[in-house]
Amino acid sequence: MKKITIAIDGFSSTGKSTLAKQLAKHLGYVFVDTGAMYRAVTLYAIQNNYINLEYFDTESLKADLTKIKLEFQFNPELGFAEMYLNNKNVEKEIRTIEVSNFVSKVAEISQVRAKLVEQQKEMGKNKAIVMDGRDIGTVVFPDAELKIFMTASAQTRAQRRFDEMVSKGESISFEEVLKNVQERDYIDTHREDSPLVMAHNAIEIDNSNITREEQFQIVLDLVNNI
Ligand code: DC
């Protein structure tokens, strides 16, 4: 079968990575969660005290960009690749609410975006890839054969993220998660560089009221019809 590029964009917590992972496994493609890369840069900024609630030293972060090495390493037990920041597995640390609260700010910086987009384009140069993020169909792979844009109500998305965090043992309120989802929606859609918009040739899927399996089947049919 012809190898293609699949771009999955959409709002936070719409299940983009879940769908991308399912598709990549089924098709034998590489899966790349670009949000993990923005999260790893954010973790670096937090660890170096460049960002906190009152302050963000963007200049120091920009100056350090060449020192930030991001890599995905496949974990055969989990069946997907995990994020490594400067040779350390940070898959758990990048999923905390602290990182979620700052990541949109970091993702606004054009120099950060340029570095990550370059790396993402390189990863997809041989096709057979499913990449999820916010600007994959618009900026990273404008020529992707299949572009999906995922949406769901903010309430639905916050509930999903809340359930996920509680199951991992994080102590957090639903209101805090909802606030974070709404704030990220606002920043992601309003930033100057590569804001979250649906590519003109993307197919929109609202998964507020469909199951994971139904959604997977819809997209698989789209892949098979290319
Ligand atoms: O998909 P996620 O929630 O893990 O993404 C984390 C943040 O990174 C999100 O708020 C916006 C940003 N992001 C981005 O700007 N561009 C991407 N391609 C992926 C994520």
Q: Where are the domains of the chain?
A: 5-221
Give the predicted TM-score (pTM) of the model. Answer: 0.94
Q: Which residue's CA lies nearest to atom 15 of ligand 1?
A: 107
How much of the chain is helix, strand and coil, in % rounded to 5?
Answer: 50, 20, 30
* pLDDT above 80 for 1: no
5-221: what CATH class? alpha beta
pLDDT in tens, 56-100: 999 999 999 999 999 999 999 988 899 999 999 999 999 988 998
Q: Among residues 71, 51, 58, which one has the least CA distance to residue 116?
A: 71
> Measured between alpha carbons, how far is 6 from 143 in angstroms, rounded to an integer?
10
Q: What are phi and psi of 31, to 5 degrees?
A: -110, 130
**Closest approach atom of ligand 1 to CA 103:** 7
Tokens 């997209």: give the residue: 219
Tell me which of 9, 14, 37, 38 to substitute to probe ligand 1's pocket, judged by most ligand atoms within 8 Å of the beta carbon.
38
> What's the whole-number average pLDDT of the chain?
95
Residues 6+ apart with CB under 8 A from 56: 45, 50, 105
Tell how far the Cα of 3 is from the centroid of ligand 1, in angstroms. Answer: 26
**Closest approach atom of ligand 1 to CA 136:** 18
Tell me which of 13, 18, 33, 34 to substitute to probe ligand 1's pocket, judged by most ligand atoms within 8 Å of the beta carbon.
34
Task: Enumerate residues lining ligand 1, CB below 6 A.
Answer: 12, 34-35, 38-39, 103-104, 107, 133-135, 184, 188
